[in-house]
Every structure is written in C-alpha cells, then in structure tokens.
Amino acid sequence: MVPAPIVIGSIVFASLLATLIAIIFAAMAMGGLSKDNAAIGNVVVTVAIFFMWLFWICAWLHQWHPLIKPIYEGV
C-alpha cells in the first residue's frame, strides 16, 4: 500500500504538469508560440516536472526510512 503523502504529492505534481502544458497549448493557440517552440516547451516542462517529482520522492523516502540513524549520547 502506498503512503498517502506520496499519492497526494504525485497528484500535485501531475496537476502542475497538466497546468503548464495547458498554458503552453494556450500560448500556441493564441499565436504566441510556434508549433516547434511549443513542442520543445512540452518536452522541457515534462522532463523538469518529472525530475522535480523524482527529487521530491527521494527526499521524502530518505526522511521516511533513514538509512543511518543518529546515536544520541548523554540523553
């Protein structure tokens, strides 16, 4: 079973991706971007969001189950 924060965070990143791609599509439809520039924008946005999600999921998992547990002395 997947923890709830992972599902919620993934939904947030997916909605961010959908929003940014919609903005690029709207800019192309209004003539602000050429078809080639919109295609490049779609690739850049998709790759950027994927790697932001990957960094976030790695950071979250490392905090969820740390590999090295600190040893407190004098407590």
Least trusted range by pLDDT, from 2-6, 7-11, 12-16:
2-6
Whole-number Cα distances in Å, 58 to 3, 28, 39, 63, 66: 14, 34, 29, 9, 11
In this prediction, residue 75 carries a pLDDT of 63
Q: What's the pLDDT tens digit per position in 33-65?
A: 999 999 999 999 999 999 999 999 999 988 887
pTM: 0.81
